[in-house]
Structure 1
Amino acid sequence: MHIESIPMWEGSGNNYAYLVTDDKTKEAVIIDPANPQEVLPTLKKAVDGGVKLRNIINTHHHHDHAGGNAEMLKSYDIPIIGGKDCEKVSKTPAHGETFTIGDGIKVKALHTPCHTQDSICYLFEDGEDRVVFTGDTLFIGGCGRFFEGTAEEMDTALNKTLGALPDDTKVYPGHEYTKGNVKFAVTVSQSEAIKKLESFVGSNKQTQGKFTIGDEKQHNVFMRLDDPTVQKYTGKTGRVDVMSKLREAKNAM
C-alpha cells in the first residue's frame, strides 16, 4: 500500500487529499480531492505512470472534502464512495461494510456521526500494515467540531469506534491542525506524551501518518476523558460532560 499526501489550501484550510495505491495491481483511490486544481497534476503524473484510479472516496459532505467531486468527474468518470450527503455520491457503505482495492488492500467503512451525520472513517489494511483516514472526526491531538452532532456522539466516534482499532493503526486526518491542537492540549495537561507531541510539531510541518491510534490514546485529550487531570481541567467527571467542556474550551481559543 502506497500513500501519497496531497496538501491543499496550505496556509488557510490546510487540507489533505490522499492517493492510495495497491502496490501489486496499481489500482488506486483518491480520498477527499476537494481542490481539483491542486490534486489533478498529482493524479495525472500517477496515471501516466501506470496507476489505475478506481474510486473517489469522501469522508463527509463538507465542501472542503467533497466539493471537488463534480470537477473531478470531468477528468475521471469513476464511482464516488462516501456519506449519503456527499456531492455526486454513487455508493454509501454501511457501517462495518468492507471492499477491496486491487489484490492487497481491504477497506472497512466506519460510521462516525458528529462533525457531520454522514461522516465515515475508512480503515485500510494491507497485510500487517493498517491506516485509518479520519476526515474531520479525529485529528492528530484533537477532534472535529460538533457541527451536526453531540458530545456523546463524538465520544462514541473517537473512543469506541476508532479507539477499538489496533493501537498500531496509523492516523491520516483531513487537515494539518496538530500545532493548534497541541497549543490547546498543553493548557489541559502537561503529560509526557503531550510534551512529546509538542516537540514533534515544533520541528515538523506535517504530522499525517506519523502517529497511531495508540499514540492518540496517550496525547489526545479528547481520548482521555477518564484522565483525572483532564477531568480536573473541565470540572466534570462524566465522560460526555468532560467531552463537551473540552470542545467548548477549544472552540473559545
Structure 2
Amino acid sequence: MWEGSGNNYAYLVVDEKSKDAVIIDPANPSEVLPVLKKQVDSGDIKLTNIINTHHHHDHAGGNSEMLKHYKLPIIGGRDCSKVTKTPKHGETFTIGDSIKVKALHTPCHTQDSICYLFEDGNDKAVFTGDTLFIGGCGRFFEGTAEEMHKALNETLAALPDDTKVYPGHEYTKGNVKFGIKIMQTEPIKKLEAFANSNKETQGKFTIGDEKLHNVFMRVDDPEVQKAVGKSKPVDVMAALREMKNAS
C-alpha cells in the first residue's frame, strides 16, 4: 500500500482447505477492499478476522472503514483502533483447519507491537509489523534498545531458522545501504544484490537469513561491535539505531 511513500504491506492469508482467511494491517482500505471484495464475492475466501501488528495509523488506521464493509473481530495490540481481542504473549489461535498462529509480544517500536508466527504443516511465516524488517528493525518510538534487543535477539531469533519473514514495509534497499557500511560479509553483499534487483523482498528471506545479514541481529559480532565502538549487546543495539536514524 502507498507504494512510493510508505511502501506498506497488507497481507491476506488463506487456509486453502476451509477458505477461512485473515487480512493483516489493511491500513489503506481503498487499496485493500477491491481485492477482498472480488475474492469474498467469488467464494474464494471467507474472511474471519482483521489482524493488526500495532496501533500506528499506517497499520491499524483502516479498521473503522474496514468494519463498515466486513463486521469482523479485530485481533491486535491493545492500543489498536476498534480492537476486540489482544492475545497474550505465546497465546495461539487457528485459521481454518490447518493454520496455527502464535502471538509474540515485541514491545519497542510501540508498546503494543505483536508479531504473529503462522504455521501450516512444515511451512512457517512470521508477520513482524515494524519490529523486524529485512536487514533492519523499526525505530524505538515507545521503547528502549533493551526491548528491541529482546524482541529481535531473544523472541524472534528463537523461531526456527526456516521461518519466512513478512515485514510491514519494503525498506530493504535503505536497510542494506546502512548495513553494508557496518559489516562487509558475504550474506549482506548477497542481500544488497537481491535488493538492488528486486522491488519486493517480503517472504524471500528467513529468520536464519536475518541472523546472518541483519546488523541489528548481529550485536555480538566483533565486526559490528568495532564499527559502533561498543561491546555490550544492548549498547551496540542503541548505537546502531542512532547511526541508522542519522543516516
Question: Into which bin does the TM-score normalised by the smaller protein fall?
Answer: over 0.9
What 5-or-longer segments of structure 2 have no aligned partner?
none
Aligned to 1:5: none
Q: Give 1:125-204 correspondences, 5 Å limit.
A: 125-204=119-198
Using the aligned pairs only, state the percent identity. Answer: 80
User: Equivalents in 2 of 1:244, 1:40: separation in Å?
Assistant: 39
Aligned to 1:59: 53
TM-score normalised per structure 2: 0.99
Aligned to 1:4: none
Deviations 1:63-102 (A, max 9, x none): 0000000000000000000000000000000000000000
Aligned to 1:46: 39
Q: Give 1:2-13 correspondences, 5 Å limit.
A: 8-13=1-6
**DSSP 3-state at the match of 1:73:** helix
TM-score normalised per structure 1: 0.97
What 5-or-longer segments of structure 1 have no aligned partner?
1-7
**Which residue of 111, 120, 123 corresponds with 2:117?**
123
**DSSP 3-state at the match of 2:212:** helix
Q: Give 1:225-240 correspondences, 5 Å limit.
A: 225-240=219-234
User: Equivalents in 2 of 1:49, 1:240: separation in Å?
Assistant: 50
Corresponding pairs, count: 246
User: Equivalents in 2 of 1:107, 1:46: separation in Å?
Assistant: 22
User: Equivalents in 2 of 1:215, 1:64: separation in Å?
Assistant: 27
Aligned to 1:30: 23
Q: Give the AA of the match of 1:93.
A: P
Deviations 1:116-172 (A, max 9, x none): 000000000000000000000000000000000000000000010000000000000
Aligned to 2:86: 92
**DSSP 3-state at the match of 1:216:** helix
Q: Give the AA of the match of 2:119.
A: E
User: Equivalents in 1 of 2:190, 2:41: separation in Å?
Assistant: 41
The Cα of 1:45 is off from its aligned counterpart by: 1.4
